[in-house]
Amino acid sequence: MTNTTEWISRSVSRLRSAAPAAEKASKAPAPRSTHERLQATLRRGNEALSPRALRRLLADLQEVVAPQVSEIEGGRRAQAVAAWYAGAEPEERRDMWLLLCEQFAPDATRFQSARQRYEAAAGTADEGQAEISLRRALVSPRTRLMQRFAVFPEGMRFLVDLRAELLPQLKSDKRLVALDADLEHLFSTWFDVAFLELRRLSWDSPASLIEKLIKYEAVHDIRSWADLKNRLDSDRRCYGFFHPRLPNEPLIFVEVALVDHISSSITPLLDEAAAPADLKKATTAIFYSISNTQPGLRGVSFGDSLIKHVVETLTAEFPRLRTFATLSPIPGFRAWLGKNAGAMLERLDDKRRAELGRALGAEPPQAAQLLAAADKALELDARSPVRQALLECAACYLGRELQDGKPVDAVARFHLGNGARVERLNWAGDPSAKGMKQSYGLMVNYLYDLKRIDKHRSLLAQGKIPVSNDIDSLCRV
């Protein structure tokens, strides 16, 4: 009875202490929509623009897409809004995003009516016209407004940068997702590969363009001008996709080494003192770095087309090339193993578990001990059971692990989605601090077998990751 009384007393006490906080939270007003703010007189709380300033900005945006305004004049007015935006504070910019989302949405009544007409016309001679009306009803004023921003010379740059700024805010404010969706849809059309130009970047390219390579390199940091010159040497190629409205900005670029075998380590490829390879003996193109440069174009895929175009260009220049492969990082492996080491140990048979336990100094081996030993991966010899275990874990990570039908590793997702297969794991392929942090120094070759790209894509669509026999054997242990 006493215990029951004490429990009730503690519970009531906690409820009383929590009540003021809950009451305070419940009194916190929800953010006002732009519809409410436009009707108000005074700003409230943390609102950036006053109702008056918000109405003025809305009027400026409406003038951009006014029916009587030409494309050129609309572009000029959009440019004036962009100039205001450039000088605005982050929260003021957010208010403009909200106006775009809430004040330039599709007409719900018009859409509902068009949908009903389309459903009624299904299977009749009027179905085609009803579909056209439905499509037009789905086009929001927001889309037309964004198209006007693309008219002035720096308009495309403005929209790409706007989306880059918008993307990190989507999780915290779902009201912004419609604007993001419209921008992604427009970009997927405007940046279609048919409108892109493949250009080779060399040491003779303009300095401003070469500096962009240093700025945007996302896989292996360029440490110096000597490092950059090495990557642009005679046995190397670097190509980028360019858009006519962003002529001096590579949207994505790839660095290629021309060699006589599939590379197993990034170290010799980045060795500034190494002599250039003999191009007459080159049979293999190694894609060792692919970098997207524009965060605002997330979701717009260039990689597949870039690799295809580069393969065609290289084959025309070097007819002896027969093998096209990558030397790629495994950025998600370390984090994955940290969560799954225990499960991987449970898959071992008694003999393997005992061998690993002896190597780790504890039987049966535990996940924490395996992870601790993995931190010293570069010290392990070729016959080490710990080394073998890490290779098997990496093979399973790359060759078996799927999430929503796609490989869990971001780089694997990219290359396997483009039709490559997991070819070979490379121990100590990247012994740098970054390589150790990502994957205990492991790297992987993805092979682009040009005759089997469609087959590999088909396998992936069926939930089967295409792998070589070596990788498959490691996965089966």
- 74 and 147 Cβ atoms separated by less than 8 Å: no
What is 194-328's CATH number?
Answer: 3.40.630.180
pLDDT of 18 > 80? The answer is: no
**Can you list the alpha helix ranges (DSSP code H) found in 347-384?**
350-360, 367-374
**What residues contact 319, with CB distance under 8 A and at least 6 apart?**
none
Structure tokens at 78: 């959009």
* Catalytic residue positions, numbered: 328, 415
The predicted pLDDT at position 166 comes to: 97
Q: Decide if 194-328 and 333-475 have a common fold.
A: yes
Q: Which residue has the tokens 């300095």?
A: 207
Instruction: Fill in the DSSP letter of residue 76.
Output: H
pLDDT bucket at 477, cuts 50 / 70 / 90: low
For a pLDDT cut of 70, what percent of the chain falls above it?
A: 94
Residue range 141-156, pLDDT digits in tens: 899 999 999 999 999 9
The predicted pLDDT at position 29 comes to: 66
Residue ranges covered by each domain of the chain: 34-105+140-191, 194-328, 333-475
CA distances (Å), 131 to each of 46, 112, 185, 189, in order?
A: 44, 13, 20, 21
Q: If you write DSSP's letter for every residue of 226-277 in order, what string do you get? A: HHHHHHTSTTEEEEEEEBTTBTT--SEEEEEEEESS----HHHHT-TTSPPP
Please tell me the distance from the alpha carbon of residue 60 to that of residue 80, in angstroms, as a whole number.
Answer: 9
The predicted pLDDT at position 97 comes to: 98
pLDDT bucket at 49, cuts 50 / 70 / 90: very high
Residue range 91-134, pLDDT digits in tens: 999 999 999 999 998 888 888 888 888 889 888 988 899 889 88
Read off the amino acid at residue 383.
R
The predicted pLDDT at position 28 comes to: 58
**CATH 3.40.50.300 given to domain 333-475:** no
pLDDT of 385 > 70? The answer is: yes
Please tell me the distance from the alpha carbon of residue 439 to that of residue 214, in angstroms, as a whole number.
Answer: 24
pLDDT bucket at 23, cuts 50 / 70 / 90: very low
pLDDT of 395 > 70? The answer is: yes
**CATH 1.20.140.90 given to domain 34-105+140-191:** yes
Q: Which residue has the higher pLDDT, 5 or 298?
A: 298
pTM for the whole thing? 0.84
pLDDT of 4 > 50? The answer is: no
Give me the mean pLDDT over the 68-74 stretch. 93
